[in-house]
Amino acid sequence: MTVSTRQVDGVTIVDLSGRITLDEGSTLLRDTIKQLASQGQKHVLLNLGEVHYIDSSGIGELVSAFTTMRDQGGELKLLNLTRKVHDLIQITKLHTVFDIKDDEAAAIQAFSKSA
Amino acid sequence: MNATRIFYTLDSTLESVDKAEAAVRAFALKAGFGDEVSDHISLAVREATENAVLHGNKCDPHKHVTVLFEAAPESFTVWVRDEGKGLDIAAIPDPLAPQNLLKESGRGIFLIRAFMDEVRFRNLNPGTEITMIKRVRQATREGQAASK
């Protein structure tokens, strides 16, 4: 998995690409989120548009990212779920937890409204 | 009735999880399942193998995980066996319960059950065997419905 971050209007967008599984992307995602939290970033948007495979460990990492930001007084939203990731989020009922967006500009605006 | 079987003995490593996932996906595609159903089967096998490596054998290099695939006309069956202390399936919490939704782990067996038509556990004393079955006719219907 590859991770890159960018800043748009006070929101940190984390672009993820590849697989989020126990041995591939989980550690990288966790380290990225911890680093953002330690830097005091409050608004994080995880762009999963190029994530085409995720397992239960990867789902656990998304939950961890969500709770890490929440516990720091911040907020994390998900952007551009692929069908496979969307299906798993639905099956595990995590759509009731995550704020899921499919438009980047609208997602950024949603952060500013909730700030 | 013709059935094709493939049998693997794998080390208790995360590389084995990837190997089992890739192998079963290729086997499912060859057996005639579409991409989506093959993905579901391979994710179930990934989760089962991950459980066997991490929770069953606890990555013990002296223990192995065995994976058996069988493609028959009516069903596609996968058995995953570990050499661990056994699994108390009744003690596994429901990951959909409100108090468990934000837990980082505990969704593997739930996903296996969600994606396969029949799932059984057997205590091998020592070890655990999970049997995962996908019905061919049911999977075909689902594939046809998804393509409409």
Q: Is the pLDDT reported for residue A83 higher than 80?
A: yes
Residue of B48, B79, B66, B68 lying closest to B5 (CA atoms): B68
- Residues B29-51 have pLDDT tens digits of 999 999 999 999 999 999 999 99
| Residue predicted with more confidence, A78 or A25 | A78
**Residue type (1 letter), B20:** A
pTM for the whole thing? Answer: 0.92
Q: Kindly indicate the confidence band of residue A50, based on its pLDDT and cuts at 50, 70 and 90.
A: very high
A38 touches chain B (CB under 8 A): no
B55 touches chain A (CB under 8 A): no
Q: Which residues of A touch B39 (CB under 8 A)?
A: 84
**pLDDT at residue B148, rounded to an integer:** 46
B95 touches chain A (CB under 8 A): yes
Handedness of CA B80, B84, B87, B92 (dihedral sign): negative
Do residues A16 and A25 lie in contact, with contact meaning Cβ atoms separated by under 8 Å?
yes
- Pick B102's closest partner by Cβ from A23, A67, A88: A67
**pLDDT at residue A114, rounded to an integer:** 57
B102 touches chain A (CB under 8 A): yes
CA B71 to chain centre: 14
Q: Which residues of A touch B43 (CB under 8 A)?
A: 55
Among the listed ranges A100-104, B76-80, B137-141, which one has the minimum average pLDDT value? B137-141
| Average of per-residue pLDDT across A86-106 | 97
Burial B60-86 (b: 16+ CB within 10 A, else e): eeebbbbbbbbbeeebbbbbbbbbbee
